[in-house]
Amino acid sequence: MVDLHPAVAVLAPLLGTWTGSGTGEYPTIATFGYSETVTFGHIGKPFLTYTQRTAAVDDGRPLHAETGYIRVPGPGRVEWLLAHPTGIVEILEGTCDIGADGSVSMELSSTIARSASAKEVTALTRSIAVSGDRLSYTVQMAAVGQPLQHHLAAVLRKEQP
């Protein structure tokens, strides 16, 4: 395996596969539960790779997926570049705080681009916290005429290699 690029070394606690569950809600849909798998990897370049997949807890049907890259443009800053199969592309930018204990905390806001057929999404924010083998996050969304508000929350655990 290649060495982790020094530019993203502060994100080493993210590396690996994380699994868990969450809940989604929004005024325009019924509340739902989901299972999730997230994998962070690297190829020795100044970015991490990211893939995410969710499935409904009631019947296992696929719900969502996204893939992309994470960069560290400077101390205390992070960028996520994500593509969704629904026609949405997110450029997330924000803060990245690394605790003395190796914990990672990110606060991100998105610039959104969408294809002509994509659902109207006008804003997304993400709060992510990693401590040891626990990753938790919340997602806020403004879409289909609704203001920015809570949409998703999940807790994932790191799988052991």
For residue 17, the model assigns a pLDDT of 98
Q: Domain-by-domain residue ranges, the chain?
A: 6-158
Q: Confidence band (pLDDT; 50, 70, 90) for 54? A: very high
Q: Are 77 and 94 in contact (CB under 8 A)?
A: yes
**Whole-number mean pLDDT of the chain?**
97
Tell me the C-alpha to C-alpha distance, in Å, between residue 75 and each of 48, 78, 156.
16, 8, 26
- Which amino acids are annotated as binding site, given as ranges? 28, 119, 151
- Which amino acids are annotated as binding site for heme b, given as ranges? 28, 119, 151
Mean predicted confidence (pLDDT) in 14-35: 97
**What pLDDT, in 10s, does the model give residues 26-41?**
999 999 999 999 999 9
For residue 160, the model assigns a pLDDT of 86
Q: Check if CATH label 2.40.128.20 holds for domain 6-158.
A: yes
**What pLDDT, in 10s, does the model give residues 135-156?**
999 999 999 999 999 999 999 9
CA–CA separation, 10 vs 98, rounded Å? Answer: 7
CA–CA separation, 133 vs 70, rounded Å? Answer: 20
Q: Are 92 and 107 in contact (CB under 8 A)?
A: no
Query: What is the distance of C-alpha 108 from the center of its chain?
Result: 10
AA identity, residue 67:
T
Q: Check pLDDT > 80 for residue 61.
A: yes
SS3 54: strand
